[in-house]
Structure 1
Amino acid sequence: MTTTVIPPAVRPPAGPAHRDGNVLRWLGAYTASMIGDNVFYIALSWAAVRSGTPSQAGLVMAVSAVPRALLMLGGGVVADRFGPRRVVIGSDAVRCAAVLTVAALLFVAHPGLWLLALLAVVFGIVDAVFMPAVGALPARVTGRDQLARVQGMRGLAVRFANVVGAPLGGLGVALGGSATAFALAGLLIAVSVPLLISVRMRETPPAGGADAANTANMADAANTAPAGAEAVGPPGDPDGSPGGVPARGDASGPHARVPDAEDGAAAVPERPATAWRDLRDGLRYIRGHRVLAPLIVTIALGDLGFVGPLNVGLALLADRRGWGASGMGLVVAAFGAGAGAAALLLAWRGTLPRAGSAGAAALLGGSVAIGALAQVPGVGAAVGVALAIGLLAGLSGALCGALLQTQSDPAYLGRVTAVAGIVSLGLAPLSMPLTAAAIGWWGTGPVFVGSAVVCGLGGVVALAVRDLRRAELPR
C-alpha cells in the first residue's frame, strides 16, 4: 500500500476549540456540506414526485440507503487507510460534480426517474465512505481535551443545517424548479472543498495514545485470546506488535513489523495488510475494547427505541389526538430546541464530569419522556415533553458521540464510526415500519412505552458495565 503523506502537522490548540481557526474552518466546511445535503434531498424529492408516481418517488428517495448500509464498513477501512481528510475532500468533490451534472441535464432536458435514481445511488455509495471519514476527522484537527466541545459544535451545525437547508431547498425549487435547487446544493457542497483543503492535520498520536487505560484493556484481550486467534494489540497497534506501528492511512508501509532474528524466530514477513484484514482488525478492536463495545450496544438500543416513535410514531400520534400538522410541527420544533440546547451545553462546557454515568442517566430520563409523550392529551403538554426528550436524548447522544471520539484510537476511528453508523443508519430505521404496524395493532400508548423500554435498556447497559459507567471525557 502506498505511503500516505499528510499536510504539515499542527500542534494542539492552546485555547478552546471554538476559538481555534483550524477547527472553525473544519466546522464551516462541515456546515456547508450538511446544508447542501438538506437542499439536495428537497430537490431530489420534488423532482421525483414531479417525474413519477408517489411509489416511484418513494423508491428513488430510499434507494440511496442500500449502498450506504452495505458499504459503510468498507468505508471505515478506506477512511483509516487513506486518511479522513482526503477521503472527505474526495467525497465532497464527487458529490458536488454529480449534483451539478444532474442540474445541468435538468436545465436542458427531462431525462426522467432513471437519472434521479442513479444520482441517489451515487450519493449512497459516496456517503458510505464520507460518513466514517467525517467521524474520524475531528480527532485529527484538535486535541483530545477539545473533542467533546467539537462534538457539541458539530451537533449545533447539524441543527443549523436542518433549519436552514429545507427553506433554501424550497426557495430554489420556487425560483427555478429542481434544476436550480440541485445547482444550489452543488454550490454549497463545493464551498466545503477549499475550506477542507485549508485545514491542517495533527500528527498521528503514538500507539496507545487515545487512552492509557485502553492500552491495558487491549493487552488483556490479547493475553486472553483463544488459541489460534490473531492477537489483538493495544490501540494504534493493529498487528499486536509490542513496539507499535505507524497508523494505517497515514504512514504505514505495505507489510507489518518483521520479527527480529534476535527474538529467536526467523525473520519472516507477515501477510500484506489488506482491506479485509483491516476490517477484521477493526471489528476485533471494538469487540475487545471495554468501553467501545458496550457503548455501541448502548447507542444501538437508544436509537432503536428512539427513531420509530419520534418519526412515524409522532405523525400517527398527532393524527389520532387531533393536533394537526401545526401541532406536530410545534412538537418537532420543541424536540429540536432541546437537542440544540444539549449540543450548546457541551460546546460551551467542553466536558461534563462522569460522562459515562451522565449519558446513561440522560438516556434513562429520555426513555421515560418518550413513554410519557403518548399519554399527554394536549399539544401544550406534548411540546413540554418533547423539549425534555430533545434535551435528555440530545445530551445522551452528544456524550456517547464524545466518548466514541475520545475512547477510540485515531488509527481505528474510521472503522469505529462506520460500525456506529451502521447501527444508527442501518438498523434503527428498520424500526419505523415496525412502529407503524405495531401502532395499527395496539395503539400509540403501548408502542411508545415499549419503545421507551428498549431505549432505556441502553441506559441500563451503560450503568451495568463498570468501564463505561466510569468513563470520563478528557479535561
Structure 2
Amino acid sequence: MSTTAVPVVAAADDRPAHRDPNVLRWLGAYLSGAVGDNVYYIALSWAAVQSGTPAQAGLVTAASALPRALLMLGGGVLADRYGPRRVVLGSTAARSALVLTAAVLLLATSPGLWALGAVAVLFGVVDAVFLPAAGSLPARITARGQLARVQGMRGLGTRLANVLGGPLGGLGVAVGGTAGAFGLAALLVGVSLPLLLTVRVAALPPDERQERRAPLAELRDGLRHIRRHPVLRPLVIAAALSDLGFVGPMNLGLTLLAQQRGWGSAGMGWVLAGFGTGAGAASLLLTWRGRIPRAAVVAAATNLVAAVAIAALAQVPSVAGASGVAALIGVSAGLSGALCGALVQAHAGALYLGRVLSVSTIVGFGVAPLTFPVIGTAVAAWGTGPVFAVCAGVSALAAAVVLAVRDLRRAELP
C-alpha cells in the first residue's frame, strides 16, 4: 500500500489557485456555508437566551463540542472511505435540513432548552462528519504547490464570513425572529450545495486506492500512519498543544477579560476586530505569496509570537492597546495555523488525509471548547493574568516541539 503525498489535480494547468475557476467555485461554496454557520450560531444563542438563564444558554451553545470530540475520528474514516467531496455534499445537505427543521419548530411552537440542545447536539454530530472532509477537500482540487495559497484563501473566507455573519444574523432575528434567522442560515448553507456540485476533484491513482475494511481497522491504519510518519507525528502533537492553549483565552477568556476591565461589549468588539484584521492580513499574505520558505520554522516562530502576545493581552489595561495586541495575535496565529494546515495536507498520505485531518483538528474543534468551564473556574479563582499566562505556555510548547524534531523542523511546502 502506497503512502505518497496528495496527488496533483490532473486538470491543473499551473495557474495560481486564486485564478483557478475550480478553486474559486469551492471558495464560494465555503464562504456561503461559513456565513450560514455564523448566522446559525447567532440564532441558536439568541433562542437559548430567550428560553433560559445565561448559564443554561451557555450549555446549549457548547453542546455541539462533545459529539465533535467523540465522533470526529470516525468522520475522518468516512472522508477517506467515500471521498471528501461526497461526504461534504451529504453532510452539507444534512446541516441545511437540520437548521431548516429548527426554523419550522420555532414557527410551530416555543421549544424549550431541551429541544434547542438536541438541535445543537445533532449539528455537532453532522459537524464531526463534515469537518474532516471539508478540511481534506482543498488538497484534492489544486496542485500541491498551491496548498499554502489555498489555506490563505480559506482564511480570507473565514474572516469575511465572520464579518458578514454577525450583521446578517442580527438582521434575521430583527426581521423574522429566531425562526427567520434559522431559515436564513439554512438557506445560506444550502446555497453552497450547487456550487459544490460543480467542483472537480482529482481521482486517486489506482495504486493509491485501498480496499475497504472495517471502520475500526481503517481508523487504526490512519493512526498508525501518523505514528510512523517522521513529520506528521510531531506536527499533530504541536497542533494539539497550540489549539489547547489558544482556544480558551481567545473565546471565553476574552469575554471574562472584557468584563474585568470594564470594556463592555463594544470594547470586546474592538478587540475582536483587531484580531480579525490581523488574521485577515495573514491570510492575504499567504494568498499573495503562495509559498513561505522554511514553512515549519516560520510556523514555530509565529506560534511563539502569538503565545507571548496572548500572555501580554491580559496585562493591557486599555481597549486600544488590547486591540493592537489582538491584531498581533491574529497575524502570528493566522500564519502559524495556516502553515501547519498546509504542511499536514502536503505530508499526509493520499489514502489517509481525512483521518489525519480529523486527528490534527480534533482538539481545536472538539476538545478545547470543553475546557471552557475549567477556564471560567480558574479565572474566578486566580484572575485572567495567570490563566492567560498558563494557556500561553501550553501554546508555546507547540513551537518547542517543532524546533526540537529535526524532520519537522526541516519540513517544507511543495
Using structure 2 for the length normalisation, give the TM-score.
0.93
> Given that residues 10 and 200 in structure 1 are in contact (C-alpha distance below 8 angstroms), is that contact kept between their aligned partners in structure 2?
no
2:314 maps to 1:374: yes
1:119 partner amino acid:
V
How far apart, in 2, do the equivalents of 1:205 and 1:398 lie?
27
Q: Which residue of 2 aligns with 1:25?
A: 25
Equivalent in the alignment of 2:39 = 39
- Indicate the residue corresponding to 2:156 in structure 1: 156
The match for 1:365 is 305
Q: What corresponds to 1:61 in structure 2? A: 61
**Cα distance per residue 1:54-84 (max 9 Å; x no partner):** 4443332222222221111111000000000
Once the two structures are overlaid, the 10-residue window that deviates more, 435-444 or 119-128, is 435-444
Q: Name the stretch that deviates more: 438-447 or 94-103.
A: 438-447
| Amino acid of the structure 2 residue aligned with 1:100 | L
Give how far 1:10 is off.
4.4
Q: What is aligned with 1:12?
A: 12
Structure-1 residue corresponding to 2:141: 141
User: Could you tell me whether the CA contact under 8 Å between 2:62 and 2:369 is conserved in 1?
Assistant: no
Give per-residue Cα distances to partners, 1:98-131, cap 9 Å, x unaligned.
2223323332333444432332222111111100
Do the aligned partners of residues 433 and 108 (structure 1) sit closer, same or farther apart at CA in structure 2, a change above 3 Å counting?
closer
1:282 match: 222
Partner of 1:400: 340
Q: Provide the rounded CA distance (Å) in 1 between the counterparts of 2:184 and 2:310.
A: 37
State the secondary structure of the residue aligned to 2:373: helix
Identity %: 63
Q: 1 CA distance for matches of 2:250 and 2:156? A: 19
Matches within 5 A, 1:50-129: 50-129=50-129
Give the aligned CA root-mean-square deviation in angstroms: 1.7
Q: Does 1:323 align with 2:285?
A: no
The CA distance in 2 between the partners of 1:334 and 1:16, in whole Å, is 29
| Cα distance in structure 1, aligned partners of 2:139 and 2:411 | 18
**Aligned residues, how many?**
406
Q: Relative contact order (C-alpha < 8 Å, sep 6+): which is higher? A: 2
Inter-partner Cα distance in structure 2 for 1:368 and 1:340: 20
Distance (whole Å) between structure 1 residues aligned to residue 273 and residue 111 of structure 2: 37
Secondary structure at the aligned position of 1:427 is classed as helix
Change in Cα spacing, 1:309 to 1:60, as seen in structure 2 (3 Å) is: closer
CA distance in 2, matches of 1:427, 1:114: 23
User: Which among 383, 387, 394 is matched to residue 447 of structure 1?
Assistant: 387
Separation of aligned partners in 2, 1:183 and 1:437: 36
Pairwise CA distance, 1:349: 0.6
CA 1:197/1:439 → structure 2, altered by over 3 Å: closer, same or farther? same
User: What residue number does 2:4 align with?
Assistant: none
The aligned counterpart of 2:409 is: 469
Question: For residues 152 and 336 of structure 2, what CA distance do their matches in structure 1 show?
Answer: 11
Query: Which amino acid is the alignment partner of residue 175 of structure 1?
Result: V
Q: In 1, are the aligned partners of 2:240 and 2:361 still within 8 Å (CA)?
A: no
Query: Aligned partners of 1:373, 1:112: CA distance in 2, in Å?
Result: 38
SS at 1:300's partner residue?
helix
Is 1:299 the counterpart of 2:261? The answer is: no
CA distance in 2, matches of 1:435, 1:408: 33
SS in 1 for 2:31: helix
Query: Matched residues in 1 for 2:101 and 2:264: separation?
Result: 39
Which has a greater percent of helix? Answer: 2
Post-superposition Cα deviations, 1:232-286, rounded to whole Å, max 9, x if no partner, equal: xxxxxxxxxxxxx4424xxxx45xxxxxxxxxxxxxxxxxx11111000000001
Q: Which amino acid aligns with 2:96?
A: C
Structure-2 separation of matches of 1:327 and 1:52: 26
User: 1:468, CA displacement in angstroms?
Assistant: 1.0
Which has the larger displacement, 109-118 or 381-390?
A: 109-118
Residue 201 of structure 1 corresponds to 201
Q: TM-score, normalised by structure 1?
A: 0.82
- CA gap 1:313/1:114 in 2 versus in 1, 3 angstroms: closer
Aligned residues of 2:65 and 2:367 also touching (Cα < 8 A)? no
Partner of 2:209: 247
Change (3 A) 1:322 1:72: same
Aligned positions of 1:394-433 closer than 5 A: 394-433=334-373
Which entry has the higher C-alpha Rg, 1 or 2? 1
Note if contact 2:33-2:189 (Cα within 8 Å) is conserved in structure 1.
yes
Aligned mates of 1:45, 1:453 — CA distance in 2? 31
Aligned to 1:180: 180
Q: Secondary structure at the match of 1:440?
A: helix
Instruction: Deviation per CA, 1:134-185: give whole Å up to 9, x if none.
Output: 0111111111011110011011111111111121111111001111111111
1:169 aligned residue: 169
CA offsets, 1:380-423, max 9 Å, x none?
22222111111111111111111111111221110011112212
In 2, are the aligned partners of 1:205 and 1:410 still within 8 Å (CA)? no
Residues 289-329 of structure 1 deviation map (CA, whole Å, 9 limit, x = unaligned): 11111111111111122122222222222333333332222
